Amino acid sequence: MALVEKHHENSICRPGSKHSEFQIIERLGKSKAAVFLTYCPSENRYMALKMFEFHQDKINISYANEVRFLDLRHPNIIRMESSCEKKRIFEKGQYSFCSYIMMEAAQYGDFTNLVMNTDMFKDEKLLRTYFHQLIAGIKFLHEKNMAHLDLKMDNLLLGSDFRLKITDFDSSYQKGDSICLSRGTKNYRAPEIKSDNCDDPQAADAYSAGIILFVLKAKCFPYMEDVIVGGQNLYEDLQLGRNSFWTFHSQKLKTGTFEDDFKDLFTLMVKEDPVERATLEEVKKSKWFLGPIYSQEELTEKIQPYLADFDLFEKKRVH
């Protein structure tokens, strides 16, 4: 695959080739839009390219939605730097068109990989530190009258500054939108997103943040949508406040103990009724959230030993 200018077909090169603009190295992740790790020789840095193929010769609606968020600037939001609405692609012997966004590349990949392949979040202080960063990023969006609406571990990246970065805004919401594009992601989404009846997008983000908190702690989902596990309806148990929910996760899945402060916060964040659900301000005032966190200097020292096997730049170093 190569992206080409109308009069200069090698301006953006196919994987493995060299060029002064940038080199596409490999595809990253499994999102619906293709995301590629690229290297820019002129700036000696890595970037990510998110590509949206045209649909029936028209600009992809996901690109049109995400490009609206190009100017977001926050330490816990992935930085988008530039965009191109229409570019020719040469692939499999024929030309077509795409749009793309160039963005900051996250050196250490996504949190799904980190959670499932390390024990770093057994450190409650580390878990709380990154949860603080997640809430800070979401709060910034909400203050801008936006909502992400597809918060999940795959959309949380770890940058070279060891900070959590929220990414993937192709189905996000902005105040004034007449429709909600997002259907969310199964097992992370709020009930009202699942039922396509969302009146408060920011409350839906709070719900997904609660699910992420649980996954960081337990390395598993609190429940699986529409699935009975071991004879239990875990979603129903959770919503009805049954101890059987916590017994299942503590004993049968051997995820350890859950402190009462953690239980209280999580339960409030995932209330089925958005009106009863904890707001971000209430989350920040909760007893568990107000526990100790690492300073940035301490965080850097604490997390580096876990990251040797996750450095995308080192693995793909271009010489």
- CA 127 to CA 265: how far, in whole Å? 14
* C-beta separation of 14 from 1 below 8 A: yes
pLDDT beyond 80 at 136: yes
CA Rg, the chain, in Å?
21
Report the chain's terminal Cα–Cα distance, integer Å: 22
Please check whether the domain covering 2-105 is classified as CATH 2.60.40.10.
no
Tell me which architecture the domain covering 111-306 has in CATH: Orthogonal Bundle (1.10)
pLDDT at res. 252: 67
Task: Report residue 5's pLDDT band, with 50, 70 and 90 as the boundaries.
Answer: very low
Across 193-215, b (16+ Cβ under 10 Å) vs e yields bbeeebeebbbbbbbbbbbbbbb
Per-residue pLDDT, 12: 43
pLDDT at residue 113, rounded to an integer: 94
pLDDT at 14 over 60: no
Q: Which of 137, 187, 146, 139 is nearest to 166 (CA)?
A: 137
CB 31 within 8 A of CB 154: yes
CA distance 316 to 311: 9
Containing 83, the helix (H) or strand (E) segment is strand 80-91
- With bands split at pLDDT 50, 70 and 90, how would you rate the model's confidence at 180? confident
- What type of residue is 72? L
Identity of residue 176? G
Q: Which residues make up the CATH 1.10.510.10 domain(s) of the chain?
A: 111-306
Cα–Cα distance measured from residue 207 to residue 204, given in angstroms and rounded to the nearest whole number: 5
Lowest mean pLDDT among 197-201, 261-265, 278-282: 197-201
User: Average pLDDT in the 285-290 region?
Assistant: 98
- 92-102 pLDDT per residue, tens: 667 778 899 99
Query: For 249-264, what is the mean pLDDT?
Result: 83
DSSP H or E stretch at residue 165: strand 164-166
Mapped to the 3 state alphabet, what secondary structure does 240-261 carry?
Answer: CCCHHHHHHHHHHCCCCCCCHH
Q: Between residues 209 and 86, which one has the greater pLDDT?
A: 209
Q: Could you read off the pLDDT of 194-229 as tens digits, one per residue?
A: 999 999 999 999 999 999 999 999 999 999 999 998
The CA-based angle 79-190-214, given to 5 degrees, is: 75
Q: How many beta carbons lie within 10 A of that of residue 26, not counting itself?
A: 12
Stretch(es) of the chain classified as CATH 3.30.200.20: 2-105
Taking the C-alpha atoms of residue 47 and residue 103, their distance in angstroms, rounded to an integer, is 6
- In this prediction, residue 154 carries a pLDDT of 95
pTM for the whole structure: 0.90
5 is written with which tokens?
Answer: 């200018």
Average pLDDT of the residues in 231-259? 88
